[in-house]
Structures are given as structure tokens and as C-alpha cells.
Structure 1
């Protein structure tokens, strides 16, 4: 029985590939969420402009 538990599990995708894939998908979902959330009020592509973020930061400081 001890020999059976020591068998290596061969996976299709290594652990690092799966972790990187999850991080990549999370980043994409984050930016899509920003575009949808900001797009309700304005043009969705404006979320990527630096002036938009400066305006948001200035509004939250006051």
C-alpha cells in the first residue's frame, strides 16, 4: 500500500501553468468589470485614460 500512495500523478497542465492561467483570467475579468462599471456612465474605453483615474482620485480625496 505504501508503494501505491507514492505514485506520481501526471497532470495535463503543471501547477505553475494553472496558476498563471488563473492570474491571467483574473486580470482580464478585472478590466472587463472596470469597463462595464464605468461604461454605464460614460464611454467604456475612457477607463484606460490617466485623466479619468486622476479625476476619480481627486473626487475621493475631498
Structure 2
């Protein structure tokens, strides 16, 4: 497997996990759907926490 092919496969996997893209060959669609839901929840929770920290910082300034 060439480096370029590996990068393309990794990109497809990440896209399936966080963007709802098609599941690459060789992966269980149900497992990818479950893992993707966790990834998106974690991303959204982190984003909300960062927003709260920013608001608190602005009030302190």
C-alpha cells in the first residue's frame, strides 16, 4: 500500500466518521455509524465548552 493510498483511505474513514460520508470498503457500517455518532457528540460538546469559556473570558475583561 502506497503512502498516497493510505492517506486516501484514512481521509475516507474520517469523512465517514465525522461528516456522514460513505463507509469505505472493509469497515462495518454499523460500527462506523456508532463511532461517528460518538465523534460528532464529542466534537459538539467540546465546541460548546469552548464557547462557554470564551463568554466567561469576555465578561472578566
Larger Rg: 1 or 2?
Answer: 1
TM-score of the superposed pair, with normalisation by structure 1: 0.47
TM-score of the superposed pair, with normalisation by structure 2: 0.48
Higher share of residues assigned helix: 2
